[in-house]
Structure 1
């Protein structure tokens, strides 16, 4: 089997999902909380010709107090078609969420997605908030899709690697990255474990047939009033008793409303605390980043000062070298003129005067010495 080029890489990037359901286009763009992103996590190994595809959707589910996510597992062996398109026309929800140049990955599968939740989540799996319910409805619709488009940033993966994946899937040589599903489930959620679940309908009336689509969270109506409110009230004998009973009934109803709203209020407070914690962590990270940038800025300033001082020294040295070079050049010019003059047999005036003086002194000295010797000879005779 020939090896596949450029197939060793990991991808974990924000994504948006698009699919068709009941002749209508559906998107999964905003999880809960909305400030987070739906993530595509993929791994590819050239040596083993294996790959994995997972979609991580942040969502709040009952039984898990902290923020968690649902994993949508796409079985590699079930992918019948894989293709991509660079710089496609983005739908408005996708463009607002990603806000960058994107690539659209097109997947077709012969097997539905598996949904994995933390092992501590209660069953049947239920969302804790209305926003989680809306994302939950989208996941229920996505579970029935056999074809989906995944939008990711164009900067995350090259076209060469995507073509290698397309070639591997078209040749049917791509294998699942994880073959031991129990071991995979045990390693998820910080090794606390996960489990594969079916997403149940949120509400089902007795008049619905088993194949009817359950209502979405956005379409749910308030629950009907309690049965005791529909019963006829007994006629009281006195207005005082009637007033007392009415007040008592009002208080009873108020207590019930307060009791029913306690859970939602607690969730609201918990969300506010989570938001404040995230804001505090974000501010702390920003402060640390600012301190780091200030330190780097100070180091750069000191380095810049050193460079300026070095440049000034180098400039002074260059100027000194230039002056010395000019002096040497002038001396060389003078020496050249002297050499040319001497080579033509010429003498400078100073040299001539010195030569005349030397010859004169020599002649006079010789004459004086000769006359002195002659006188001495005569006297001896």
Structure 2
């Protein structure tokens, strides 16, 4: 058989399990706690043609305070047929749980899988919570079947790897990764060890629930009827005629009735008084609520006015700030200009003005002298 080391793989992925019991489909989907996931774990070595397959179901069991899990151990040597379907018709309960495209792995077994629990679990292994009891029922049924389907995400494993497993099973060459069962059990649960268990059937007539809760009222039997013979016997031994006693009893009964009637009247008065007080208190509370609602409305209006005023003030501050910034800029320019002039400097405007003034003065002076010179020549 050729070797393909690239097909060696370890797989641990959420899964849903389906099998048939009493001609009806059964499912292991929701563990306890429900936020946990049923997982399918497998290891496969194509080179050595060995594999292991396990189902892990989170569950709460007695004897273990923390969350634990029960392992469904599929013995490699018991696999008579392995097949897979890449496009199966997925049941609705499985589709909702996995919420992805699924592939179906089918196992036909020569013997049912074994259930394994932690060695810390008390014997017999029992659920610690009511939801765990439901998962226990599913595991109990699963441990009796020899044909099961495991749904996993199609992204978790390739067709080549599944084909390699199918080929190894069909050629009857698939071997367990660990042939020593006791050593394999001892390595489970973080090295604390596991043990193969047998889940007891839940008695239908048992009044003890998984949480040791008392039975409901519907499950209680009615009390036995009174003993008629004893009653008739006591009547037969009573004296035949007791006239005065009967009259006394009638008087006592009337007095009792009168007192009971008066007590009932007093109770009625107390009830009506209490109802009246409650009505007054409700009316007072209603008035208070109405007043508080009005005050709340007024406060909301004042808050809205304050918010509007604040917005206007912010706008004014923004405008004043811009104006103040411009003043600061002009002051800075004026300061620079003053410093420049104080050091004997001339800016361009002042220099141009000075040149223009001197030029005009010189031209005026020249023109005036030329005019006077011309007049003198004419006189000579």
- After TM superposition, the score normalised by the length of structure 1 is 0.55
Report the secondary structure of 2:148's partner residue. Answer: strand
Shift of 1:47: 3.0
Counterpart residue number, 1:114: 114
Write out aligned runs for 1:62-73 (5 A). Answer: 62-73=62-73
Deviates more, 1:124-133 or 1:10-19: 124-133
Shift of 1:227: 8.8
Write out aligned runs for 1:159-174 (5 A). Answer: 159-174=159-174
Report the secondary structure of 2:155's partner residue. Answer: coil
Q: Output one character per residue of 1:291-331: Cα deviation in whole Å (capped at 9) or x when no partner.
A: xxxxxxxxxxxxxxxxxxxxxxxxxxxxxxxxxxxxxxxxx
Distance 2:189 2:168 in 1: 30
Q: Is the contact between residue 17 and residue 27 of structure 2 (CA under 8 Å) also seen in structure 1?
A: yes
Counterpart residue number, 1:28: 28
Counterpart residue number, 1:327: none
Counterpart residue number, 1:190: 190
Counterpart residue number, 1:151: 151
Computing the radius of gyration from Cα coordinates, the structure with the larger value is 2
Superposed CA RMSD: 3.2
Write out aligned runs for 1:128-139 (5 A). Answer: 128-139=128-139
Counterpart residue number, 1:289: none
Report the secondary structure of 1:189's partner residue. Answer: coil
Q: Is the contact between residue 4 and residue 164 of structure 1 (CA under 8 Å) also seen in structure 2?
A: no
Q: Work out whether 1:83 is the aligned partner of 2:77.
A: no
Q: Is the contact between residue 116 and residue 196 of structure 1 (CA under 8 Å) also seen in structure 2?
A: yes
Distance 1:225 1:43 in 2: 49
Shift of 1:225: 6.9
Distance 1:105 1:139 in 2: 18
Q: Any stretches of 5+ residues in structure 1 without a counterpart?
A: 207-214, 240-381
Q: Is the contact between residue 6 and residue 164 of structure 1 (CA under 8 Å) also seen in structure 2?
A: no
Q: Work out whether 1:101 is the aligned partner of 2:101.
A: yes
Q: Is the contact between residue 7 and residue 45 of structure 1 (CA under 8 Å) also seen in structure 2?
A: yes
Q: Is the contact between residue 54 and residue 73 of structure 2 (CA under 8 Å) also seen in structure 1?
A: yes
Q: Is the contact between residue 17 and residue 150 of structure 1 (CA under 8 Å) also seen in structure 2?
A: yes
Write out aligned runs for 1:1-381 (5 A). Answer: 1-3=1-3, 6-203=6-203, 222=216, 230=224
Distance 2:219 2:40 in 1: 44
Q: Is the contact between residue 72 and residue 115 of structure 2 (CA under 8 Å) also seen in structure 1?
A: yes
Q: Any stretches of 5+ residues in structure 2 without a counterpart?
A: 232-252, 254-380
Shift of 1:35: 1.2
Distance 1:16 1:191 in 2: 27
Report the secondary structure of 1:191's partner residue. Answer: coil
Report the secondary structure of 1:41's partner residue. Answer: strand
Q: Is the contact between residue 107 and residue 147 of structure 1 (CA under 8 Å) also seen in structure 2?
A: yes
Q: Is the contact between residue 5 and residue 164 of structure 1 (CA under 8 Å) also seen in structure 2?
A: no
- After TM superposition, the score normalised by the length of structure 2 is 0.55
CA 1:187–1:24 in structure 2 vs 1: closer, same or farther (change >3 Å)? same
CA 1:225–1:74 in structure 2 vs 1: closer, same or farther (change >3 Å)? closer
Distance 1:38 1:18 in 2: 12
